[in-house]
Structure 1
Amino acid sequence: MNTRNRWLMIAVGLGILLNPLNSSMISVAMARLQTEYKLDYTGVSWIIFSFYIASAVAQPVMGRASDLFGRRNIFLNGLVVAFLASLLAPLSPSFGWLIVFRVIQSIGTSMMVAVGMAIVRIYITDKQAAALSVLSIFLSGAAAIGPFVGGVLIHWWDWPAIFFVNIPFAIASYLLAWRTIPKDKPETSPVRGLTFRKWLELIDASGILLFTAGLVALLVGLLSAKSSGQVSFSYVVIGMIGLLSLGAFARHELKAKSPFIPLRTIAQFPAMTWVNVQFILVNVLFYSLFFGLPSYLQIVRHVSEFHTGMLMLSLGLCSLVASPIAGKWIDKSGPRPALFVSAILMVFGSVWIVTLNDNSPVISVCIALAAFGISNGLNSVGMQTALFDSSPKEIIGVAAGLFNTSRYLGTIISSLLTGIVMGGEFSFTGFRILGIILTVIALTLVLMSWRRARTAQLKQSKA
């Protein structure tokens, strides 16, 4: 790999890491933001919801937009959007404005993630697999160390620092990308000749609007009712609007020529569907702990942001160490044994949370973090392999997009679950109830993994 390609990889890596870094740093800022803006726990949870809903919509849209506007242009403009959002977010006069800038930040960082891998795949032909694996390290590493980085920044410079820290990354990535990413060549793709109206049809703008409006309305209805402690007529109406919008979305997707979420494909391939259902549950478990545990440590146990970040680092390190080991194991034995062990570890970690009490040493939390970290490393490789094994080659691109959507849905559901359990105030009792619910979900995963392995064995014996 020549010097120019190395700098191109660094440019892309510095850009794409901003999305996972910002999605994970916020986990240790929840308690500080709750105090800063005088919110209950349900209200401050929107700082998580907004980012993931925007990412779930923006990444596939920007991937398709790159065919029309060029991958280099999308990447560079994404850096500008992320830079401006990170600069303005700390100046927000209210929490509502902070949410607005958080959404803009999510869109900007999603623009880079959507085209970053494609840029490397197109322009780096020498040792391409190694180059793509390095980018994966940028993504997974940023997510893993995010809570630690956030804890250190908040400890020394308060919560605005988790936004300002993006600025040097964005500037460095922009300068390198401007010099190293070749200019987009005119392509003969029919997408280039589309009118704006036709392009909206191509990205399924109607489906995206129904999906986003339905999800947001449903979340507002459910969380507002839980936070206020009473079910008012207005909350019921908002929730019903959300359900109706999601119903209309499902009907629209079944008829759309280029659906945002390919429901027809899901119905045609049940094995692939079960992998995505399992992946949703995996992410519900992981992110419920990922966002719930820092709040437990800071609000219930009064642990500082710095020490919370240090403790959360064990989660990321265990995940990073387990991933390459999982890769070798899965290459030899297939994904099913690794996924079964992962589910067992999640059961253990969830049960361990339930056994914690007010006098438990804070360091004992690392046991649950280690269990979930190792299981995440196994899942990151195992679920991807299971997806490819269950998906026909001719729809592998659609399957990969659906897989990413499942990740975001699991993350959003995890935040919703935590918000409903906790209501307006994060408490030790609520955290224990959350642990019980996670244990039930983890046991469900164990049963699903066992049944899939059993079904595969029966098919092999019949063959």
Structure 2
Amino acid sequence: MIPRLTARSRAAGPSPAGFDRRLIPPMILGSVLNPVNSSMIAVTLVPIGVAFGAPPAETVWLVSALYVATAVGQPVIGRLVDMYGPRRLYLAGTALVGFAGLLGALAPSLGALIAARVLLGLGTSAAYPAAMRLTRAEAERTGQDSPAGVLTALAVANQTVAVVGPALGGLLIQLGGWRAVFTVNVPLSAACLVLGALRLPRSVTRRRRLDVPGMALFAVLLIALMLFLMEPRTGRWYLPVLSAAAAAGFALRELRVPDPFIDLRLLGGNGPLLATYARQLLGYTTAYAFMYGYTQWLEQGRGLGASTAGLALLPLSAAALTASALTGRREAVRAKLVTGSVLQLAGCAVLLVIGDRSPFWLLLAVGVLLGVPQGLIGLATQTALYRQAEPERIASAAGLLRTFMYLGALGASAATAAFYPHRADTAGLHDLALFMLAGSALLLATTLPDRSLGRPATRDTRKA
């Protein structure tokens, strides 16, 4: 049963004919908490290492901790959103962000700082599933299932914040040191709490049993897998074994309980949604491999300074934002996926001919070529999921989509480390490009024959 919005919460709302635009500010502000914290940390690793006398091998956990916590937290909290409504989880999650920001600002050690990042990952996991649940609820309320503009606003806001995050982090460090990067979460949390309390509708829910064992097994499965992907080597063989054992236990549990955390029977029968998760993984593995690998090559293989390398990546971000903004109003899922995968293939082909003597304009051009797919593929998979997921589980399905994105990021990181064993040279870049080329070809191969993407299946919005 989908949580219903109460009449009292809608009494002062707009006409049932249109999307309640009062919901958009809290939805967007809450959803950008994750990308802003993911991107700002990049410029703090060095000063934090100096402050605590920690090497890069230890400070990198400030990045990894948030990735792991978010990958686990998004589908788990998404399930809670489906069960108890978006308002409660949104408010609880954004309150946790404020607490985590305060903990980070006062942290006496690197360990406490990593704990703050874990809490930030969990706290920022609530808003995106809540936004997807609210979007679905508005479609049910109005009877007009046309959320393209809202989904585009969410995507563009997240991409924009991810781009400006490092610059914002640098400004905060200049104003108040690296602790200001954590402190900024306190006013952001307060703003979300005020907007959420004033504008998010209350929900009427039926009391149901929470599948805690299923959630715990899922967490073990995913954490063990992600820890292995961060540093894959034979000495860590026990991690994939633990992940496989947890996966087996998780499958047995979910197939037996009446109200599972993830309904594997339902998911297994939803081929289009499974394909969307696979495309999310493939698309973002290529995107992150380029972001990680190309940036390192620009500095080590091409010999550019850090600031110049950052400048060379600006066209990547600009192209992604432009593609999202220009195409967002039209769903066109299949066209976006096909175009995105073809452009990824073209970009990877260009990487194969780039060398340490390549002109600077070519370095910029490959960023544009691989930036457009980032904007197209992210929008396409988000829209496809909205159409393909069961309405009763839209928030947990959306959270799982983000999990596959983070798995792609970790897979890309592992591939980059494998192809750059000593330094980011041109030969390693070309090997990485072949890896990306294979992933892009698989993305295209899974998209071209899928005619259902021309008009994604719309679940009955009147269910509930």
TM-score by length of 1: 0.75
Separation in structure 1 between the aligned mates of residue 446 and residue 82 of structure 2, nearest angstrom = 39
Task: Show the 5 A alignment for 1:152-301.
Answer: 153-154=169-170, 157=174, 160-181=179-200, 184=202, 187=204, 189-191=205-207, 194=208, 198-199=209-210, 201=211, 205-221=212-228, 223-224=230-231, 226=233, 231-232=234-235, 235-297=236-298
Residues 212 and 63 of structure 1: CA distance in aligned 2, closer, same or farther (over 3 Å): closer
Separation in structure 2 between the aligned mates of residue 68 and residue 335 of structure 1, nearest angstrom = 29
Separation in structure 1 between the aligned mates of residue 100 and residue 394 of structure 2, nearest angstrom = 32
Any conservation in 2 of the 1:346–1:372 contact (CA below 8 Å)? yes
Cα offset for 1:345? Answer: 0.6
* Deviation digits for residues 312-355 of structure 1 (CA, Å, limit 9, x no counterpart): 44333322222354356x66xx5334322211111122233343
Separation in structure 1 between the aligned mates of residue 145 and residue 109 of structure 2, nearest angstrom = 45
Separation in structure 2 between the aligned mates of residue 301 and residue 32 of structure 1, nearest angstrom = 26
Residue 411 of structure 1 aligns with which residue? 406
| Equivalent pairs, count | 428
Given the alignment of the two structures, is residue 437 of structure 1 paired with residue 435 of structure 2, yes or no?
yes
RMSD: 4.0
Cα offset for 1:119? Answer: 5.2
* Deviation digits for residues 346-399 of structure 1 (CA, Å, limit 9, x no counterpart): 11222333433334455643323222221122223433455567x4x8x35547
Separation in structure 2 between the aligned mates of residue 455 and residue 91 of structure 1, nearest angstrom = 49
Separation in structure 2 between the aligned mates of residue 67 and residue 137 of structure 1, nearest angstrom = 22
Secondary structure in 2 matching 1:257: coil
Separation in structure 1 between the aligned mates of residue 453 and residue 131 of structure 2, nearest angstrom = 38
Separation in structure 2 between the aligned mates of residue 57 and residue 300 of structure 1, nearest angstrom = 35
Cα offset for 1:304? Answer: 6.1
Separation in structure 1 between the aligned mates of residue 39 and residue 110 of structure 2, nearest angstrom = 19
Secondary structure in 2 matching 1:422: helix
Residues 30 and 244 of structure 1: CA distance in aligned 2, closer, same or farther (over 3 Å): farther
Task: Show the 5 A alignment for 1:23-102.
Answer: 23-26=38-41, 37-40=54-57, 46-66=61-81, 71-89=86-104, 91-102=106-117
Secondary structure in 2 matching 1:168: helix
Residue 143 of structure 1 aligns with which residue? 159
Any conservation in 2 of the 1:78–1:112 contact (CA below 8 Å)? yes
Residues 420 and 378 of structure 1: CA distance in aligned 2, closer, same or farther (over 3 Å): closer
Secondary structure in 2 matching 1:338: helix
Residues 216 and 76 of structure 1: CA distance in aligned 2, closer, same or farther (over 3 Å): closer
Residue 459 of structure 1 aligns with which residue? none
Any conservation in 1 of the 2:385–2:397 contact (CA below 8 Å)? no
Residues 270 and 132 of structure 1: CA distance in aligned 2, closer, same or farther (over 3 Å): closer
Residue 447 of structure 2 aligns with which residue? 449
Cα offset for 1:123? Answer: 8.4
Given residue 214 of structure 1, which amino acid in structure 2 is its aligned partner? L
Any conservation in 2 of the 1:31–1:295 contact (CA below 8 Å)? no
**Which structure has greater helix proportion?**
1
Identity of aligned residues (%): 24
Residues 86 and 217 of structure 1: CA distance in aligned 2, closer, same or farther (over 3 Å): same
Task: Show the 5 A alignment for 1:340-419.
Answer: 340-360=338-358, 364-387=362-385, 391=388, 395-398=390-393, 401-402=396-397, 404-419=399-414
Separation in structure 1 between the aligned mates of residue 299 and residue 185 of structure 2, nearest angstrom = 24
Which deviates the most, 277-286 or 346-355? Answer: 346-355
Separation in structure 2 between the aligned mates of residue 129 and residue 310 of structure 1, nearest angstrom = 41
Residues 180 and 14 of structure 1: CA distance in aligned 2, closer, same or farther (over 3 Å): same
Residues 401 and 176 of structure 1: CA distance in aligned 2, closer, same or farther (over 3 Å): closer
Separation in structure 1 between the aligned mates of residue 360 and residue 108 of structure 2, nearest angstrom = 36
Secondary structure in 2 matching 1:110: coil
Separation in structure 2 between the aligned mates of residue 135 and residue 327 of structure 1, nearest angstrom = 8
Which deviates the most, 347-356 or 99-108? Answer: 347-356
Residues 62 and 38 of structure 1: CA distance in aligned 2, closer, same or farther (over 3 Å): same
Name which of 401, 417, 424 aligns with 1:427: 424
Residues 119 and 350 of structure 1: CA distance in aligned 2, closer, same or farther (over 3 Å): same
Secondary structure in 1 matching 2:448: helix
Given residue 284 of structure 2, which amino acid in structure 1 is its aligned partner? N
Given the alignment of the two structures, is residue 13 of structure 1 paired with residue 28 of structure 2, yes or no?
yes
Given residue 220 of structure 1, which amino acid in structure 2 is its aligned partner? L
Residues 211 and 123 of structure 1: CA distance in aligned 2, closer, same or farther (over 3 Å): closer
Residues 70 and 437 of structure 1: CA distance in aligned 2, closer, same or farther (over 3 Å): closer
Separation in structure 2 between the aligned mates of residue 122 and residue 451 of structure 1, nearest angstrom = 32
Given residue 412 of structure 1, which amino acid in structure 2 is its aligned partner? L
Unaligned runs of 5+ in 2: 1-12, 15-19, 455-464
Separation in structure 2 between the aligned mates of residue 135 and residue 443 of structure 1, nearest angstrom = 27
Secondary structure in 2 matching 1:356: coil
* Deviation digits for residues 7-63 of structure 1 (CA, Å, limit 9, x no counterpart): 6543443222212322344456667777873134xx665444432332233234334
TM-score by length of 2: 0.75
Separation in structure 2 between the aligned mates of residue 225 and residue 8 of structure 1, nearest angstrom = 43
Any conservation in 1 of the 2:289–2:416 contact (CA below 8 Å)? no
Which deviates the most, 60-69 or 444-453? Answer: 60-69
Any conservation in 1 of the 2:82–2:133 contact (CA below 8 Å)? no
Unaligned runs of 5+ in 1: 457-463
Separation in structure 2 between the aligned mates of residue 321 and residue 369 of structure 1, nearest angstrom = 13
